A and B are shown apart, each in its own frame.
Chain A
Amino acid sequence: CGSTSNTDAGGLFMWMSLIGHSLRQEIMKWNGWGYVDSKFQFNKKGQAEFTGKRYRLSGMVMPALKEWFESTFGASLQHKTPASAIPNSSAVQPPILNEAFVEDLKSTGIPFSQDAEDRVFRAHGHCLHEIFALREGKVGRVPDMVVWPSNHNDVVKIVELACKHNVCLIPYGGGTSVSSALECPPEETRTIVSVDTSQMNRILWIDEKNLTAHVEAGIVGQELERLLNESGYCTGHEPDSMEFSSLGGWVATRASGMKKNIYGNIEDLVVHIRMVTPQGVIEKSCQGPRMSTGPDIHHFILGSEGTLGVVTEVTMKIRPMPEYQKYGSVVFPNFEQGVACLRELTLITNVFAGHALKPQKFYITKFKGFDPNRLCVATLLFEGDRERVLQHEKQVYDIAAKFGGLAAGEDNGQRGYMLTFVIAYLRDLGMDYYVIGESFETSVPWDRVLDICRNVKERIIRECKERGVQFPPLSTCRVTQTYDAGACVYFYFAFNYRGLSDPVHVYEQVEHAARDEILANGGSLSHHHGVGKLRKEWMRETVSRVGMGMLKSVKDYVDPGNIFGNRNLL
Chain B
Amino acid sequence: MASEAVYSHRDPMLKKRDDFEDILEERRNCSDLRYALKCYTPVVYKGLTPCKAGVLKNMVLQSDQLHYVINQVSKETGKAPEDVQEEASAILEEMAHRMQLSTVRFFAFTLCKVFKTLFRSICVNEEGIQRLQQAIQEHPVVLLPSHRSYMDFLLMSYILFTYDLALPVIAAGMDFMGMKIVGEMLRMSGAFFIRRSFGGDKLYWAVFSEYVKTILKNGLAPVEFFLEGTRSRTAKSLTPKLGLLNIVMDPFLKGEVFDINVVPVSISYERILEETLYARELLGVPKPKESTSGLFKARRVLSEDYGSIHVYFGQPVSVRSLAEGRVNRCQFNLTPRHIPKRPSDDVHSFVNAAAYRLVRAQEENMVLKPWVLLASLLLQNHHQDLDQDRAAGPERGMGLDELTEEALWLRDVCRQYGAFLHWPDHVPPSEVVSSSLDLHRGLVRISEGRVRLAVEHAAGPSGPGVHPGAGPEEQLLNQAVVVLSCASYRNQALHVFLRPALLASAMHIATSSNKQEVFNSFSFLRNMFSNEFILCPGATMQDFEEACFLLVKTGVLQITEQEVLSTHRGHRTLAFLTRMMDPFLQGYQVICMFLCEEASEALTEKTFIPAVRGFMVKQLLSGRLRYTEVLSSDLQKNALAALLRLGAVLKTKGADQTTLKVNRVMVNSLEDTLGGKLPTQKAAVARL
Asked whether A520 is an interface residue with its Cβ less than 8 Å from the other chain, the reply is yes
Tell whether, in the assembled complex, residue A519 and residue B255 are in contact, meaning their CB atoms are under 8 Å apart: no
Given A520-B329, A521-B329, residue A447 in contact with residue B337 (CB < 8 A)? yes
Tell whether, in the assembled complex, residue A448 and residue B258 are in contact, meaning their CB atoms are under 8 Å apart: no
Tell whether, in the assembled complex, residue B255 and residue A448 are in contact, meaning their CB atoms are under 8 Å apart: yes
Asked whether A146 is an interface residue with its Cβ less than 8 Å from the other chain, the reply is no
Interchain CA distance A454-B333 in the complex, whole Å: 17
Size bracket, chain B contacts: 10 to 19
Tell whether, in the assembled complex, residue A520 and residue B337 are in contact, meaning their CB atoms are under 8 Å apart: no
Asked whether B336 is an interface residue with its Cβ less than 8 Å from the other chain, the reply is yes
Asked whether A459 is an interface residue with its Cβ less than 8 Å from the other chain, the reply is yes
Asked whether B55 is an interface residue with its Cβ less than 8 Å from the other chain, the reply is no
Smallest Cβ-Cβ distance to A521: which chain B residue: B255
Asked whether B332 is an interface residue with its Cβ less than 8 Å from the other chain, the reply is yes
Q: Which of A447, A459, A541 is in CB contact (< 8 Å) with B258?
A: A459
Asked whether A168 is an interface residue with its Cβ less than 8 Å from the other chain, the reply is no
A514-548: CB near B (< 8 Å → 1, else 0) gives: 00000111100000000000000000010000000
Residues of chain B contacted by A398 (CB below 8 angstroms) = none
Asked whether B563 is an interface residue with its Cβ less than 8 Å from the other chain, the reply is no
Interchain CA distance A522-B336 in the complex, whole Å: 10
Smallest beta-carbon distance A402→chain B, Å? 18
Tell whether, in the assembled complex, residue A520 and residue B258 are in contact, meaning their CB atoms are under 8 Å apart: no
Smallest beta-carbon distance A541→chain B, Å? 7
* Residue with the highest number of chain A CB atoms closer than 10 Å, among B255, B256, B329: B255
Asked whether A452 is an interface residue with its Cβ less than 8 Å from the other chain, the reply is yes
Tell whether, in the assembled complex, residue A447 and residue B329 are in contact, meaning their CB atoms are under 8 Å apart: no
Q: Which of B255, B330, B332 is in CB contact (< 8 Å) with A541?
A: B330
Tell whether, in the assembled complex, residue B255 and residue A520 are in contact, meaning their CB atoms are under 8 Å apart: yes
Tell whether, in the assembled complex, residue B256 and residue A520 are in contact, meaning their CB atoms are under 8 Å apart: no
Interchain CA distance A448-B258 in the complex, whole Å: 13
Tell whether, in the assembled complex, residue B255 and residue A451 are in contact, meaning their CB atoms are under 8 Å apart: yes
Asked whether A458 is an interface residue with its Cβ less than 8 Å from the other chain, the reply is yes
Q: Which of A451, A452, A520 is in CB contact (< 8 Å) with B330?
A: A520
Tell whether, in the assembled complex, residue A458 and residue B258 are in contact, meaning their CB atoms are under 8 Å apart: yes
Residues of A376-413 at the interface with B, using a CB-CB cut-off of 8 Å, are: none
Tell whether, in the assembled complex, residue B330 and residue A447 are in contact, meaning their CB atoms are under 8 Å apart: no
Tell whether, in the assembled complex, residue B255 and residue A452 are in contact, meaning their CB atoms are under 8 Å apart: yes
Smallest beta-carbon distance B266→chain A, Å? 28
A455-482: CB near B (< 8 Å → 1, else 0) gives: 1001100000000000000000000000
Interchain CA distance A410-B255 in the complex, whole Å: 37
Interchain CA distance A522-B331 in the complex, whole Å: 9
Tell whether, in the assembled complex, residue A519 and residue B330 are in contact, meaning their CB atoms are under 8 Å apart: yes
Residues of chain B contacted by A519 (CB below 8 angstroms) = 330
Smallest beta-carbon distance B265→chain A, Å? 25
Tell whether, in the assembled complex, residue A522 and residue B258 are in contact, meaning their CB atoms are under 8 Å apart: no
Residues of chain B contacted by A459 (CB below 8 angstroms) = 258
Q: Which of B256, B328, B336 is in CB contact (< 8 Å) with A451?
A: B256
Interchain CA distance A459-B337 in the complex, whole Å: 21
Tell whether, in the assembled complex, residue B258 and residue A454 are in contact, meaning their CB atoms are under 8 Å apart: yes
Residues of A408-459 at the interface with B, using a CB-CB cut-off of 8 Å, are: 447-448, 451-452, 454-455, 458-459
Smallest beta-carbon distance A543→chain B, Å? 13
Interchain CA distance A455-B329 in the complex, whole Å: 13
A167-180: CB near B (< 8 Å → 1, else 0) gives: 00000000000000
Residues of chain A contacted by B332 (CB below 8 angstroms) = 522
Residues of chain A contacted by B329 (CB below 8 angstroms) = 520-521
Residues of chain B contacted by A521 (CB below 8 angstroms) = 255, 329
Residues of chain A contacted by B328 (CB below 8 angstroms) = 520
Interchain CA distance A519-B328 in the complex, whole Å: 10
Interchain CA distance A387-B356 in the complex, whole Å: 68
Tell whether, in the assembled complex, residue A455 and residue B336 are in contact, meaning their CB atoms are under 8 Å apart: no
* Residue with the highest number of chain B CB atoms closer than 10 Å, among A452, A454, A455, A459: A455
Interchain CA distance A455-B319 in the complex, whole Å: 14
Smallest beta-carbon distance B320→chain A, Å? 9
Tell whether, in the assembled complex, residue A522 and residue B256 are in contact, meaning their CB atoms are under 8 Å apart: no
Smallest Cβ-Cβ distance to A336: which chain B residue: B49
Smallest beta-carbon distance A336→chain B, Å? 10
Tell whether, in the assembled complex, residue A455 and residue B337 are in contact, meaning their CB atoms are under 8 Å apart: no
Interchain CA distance A522-B335 in the complex, whole Å: 10
* Residue with the highest number of chain A CB atoms closer than 10 Å, among B258, B329, B332: B258
Residues of chain B contacted by A541 (CB below 8 angstroms) = 330
Interchain CA distance A452-B329 in the complex, whole Å: 13
B319-347: CB near A (< 8 Å → 1, else 0) gives: 00000000011101100110000000000
Interchain CA distance A365-B251 in the complex, whole Å: 37
Interchain CA distance A520-B320 in the complex, whole Å: 12
Residues of chain A contacted by B258 (CB below 8 angstroms) = 454-455, 458-459
Residues of chain B contacted by A447 (CB below 8 angstroms) = 336-337
Interchain CA distance A452-B330 in the complex, whole Å: 13
Tell whether, in the assembled complex, residue A455 and residue B330 are in contact, meaning their CB atoms are under 8 Å apart: no
Interchain CA distance A541-B330 in the complex, whole Å: 10
Interchain CA distance A519-B255 in the complex, whole Å: 11
Interchain CA distance A533-B258 in the complex, whole Å: 29
Interchain CA distance A541-B333 in the complex, whole Å: 12
Interchain CA distance A458-B255 in the complex, whole Å: 12
Smallest Cβ-Cβ distance to B333: which chain A residue: A522
Residues of A331-362 at the interface with B, using a CB-CB cut-off of 8 Å, are: none
* Residue with the highest number of chain B CB atoms closer than 10 Å, among A447, A448, A458, A520: A520
Interchain CA distance A73-B132 in the complex, whole Å: 30
Residues of chain B contacted by A454 (CB below 8 angstroms) = 258
Residues of chain B contacted by A455 (CB below 8 angstroms) = 255, 258
Smallest Cβ-Cβ distance to A522: which chain B residue: B333
Smallest beta-carbon distance B331→chain A, Å? 10
Interchain CA distance A444-B330 in the complex, whole Å: 13
Interchain CA distance A455-B47 in the complex, whole Å: 12
* Residue with the highest number of chain A CB atoms closer than 10 Å, among B328, B329, B332: B329
Smallest beta-carbon distance A407→chain B, Å? 26
Interchain CA distance A175-B375 in the complex, whole Å: 79
Interchain CA distance A459-B139 in the complex, whole Å: 13
Smallest beta-carbon distance B218→chain A, Å? 13
Smallest beta-carbon distance A308→chain B, Å? 29
Residues of chain B contacted by A448 (CB below 8 angstroms) = 255
Interchain CA distance A517-B189 in the complex, whole Å: 38
Smallest Cβ-Cβ distance to B139: which chain A residue: A458
Smallest Cβ-Cβ distance to B331: which chain A residue: A520
Smallest beta-carbon distance A512→chain B, Å? 14
Residues of chain A contacted by B337 (CB below 8 angstroms) = 447
Smallest beta-carbon distance B150→chain A, Å? 39
Smallest beta-carbon distance B198→chain A, Å? 28
Interchain CA distance A521-B320 in the complex, whole Å: 13
Interchain CA distance A301-B573 in the complex, whole Å: 75
Residues of chain A contacted by B333 (CB below 8 angstroms) = 522
Smallest Cβ-Cβ distance to A542: which chain B residue: B330
B225-265: CB near A (< 8 Å → 1, else 0) gives: 00000000000000000000000000000011010000000
Interchain CA distance A447-B68 in the complex, whole Å: 15
Interchain CA distance A451-B256 in the complex, whole Å: 6
Residues of chain B contacted by A458 (CB below 8 angstroms) = 258
Smallest Cβ-Cβ distance to A455: which chain B residue: B258
Smallest beta-carbon distance A457→chain B, Å? 9
Interchain CA distance A519-B330 in the complex, whole Å: 7
Interchain CA distance A447-B333 in the complex, whole Å: 11
Interchain CA distance A519-B332 in the complex, whole Å: 11
Smallest beta-carbon distance A79→chain B, Å? 31
Smallest Cβ-Cβ distance to A444: which chain B residue: B333
Residues of chain B contacted by A520 (CB below 8 angstroms) = 255, 328-330
Residues of A177-204 at the interface with B, using a CB-CB cut-off of 8 Å, are: none
Smallest Cβ-Cβ distance to A457: which chain B residue: B258
For the complex of A and B, the 9 pairs showing the least CB-CB separation, nearest first, are A520-B329, A521-B255, A522-B333, A458-B258, A451-B255, A455-B258, A455-B255, A451-B256, A519-B330
Given contacts A520-B330, A522-B333, 15 further A-B contacts (CB under 8 A): A447-B336, A448-B255, A451-B255, A451-B256, A455-B255, A455-B258, A458-B258, A459-B258, A519-B330, A520-B255, A520-B328, A520-B329, A521-B329, A522-B255, A541-B330
**6 A-B interface contacts by CB (under 8 A):** A447-B336, A454-B258, A519-B330, A520-B328, A521-B329, A522-B255
* A interface, CB within 8 angstroms of B: 447-448, 451-452, 454-455, 458-459, 519-522, 541
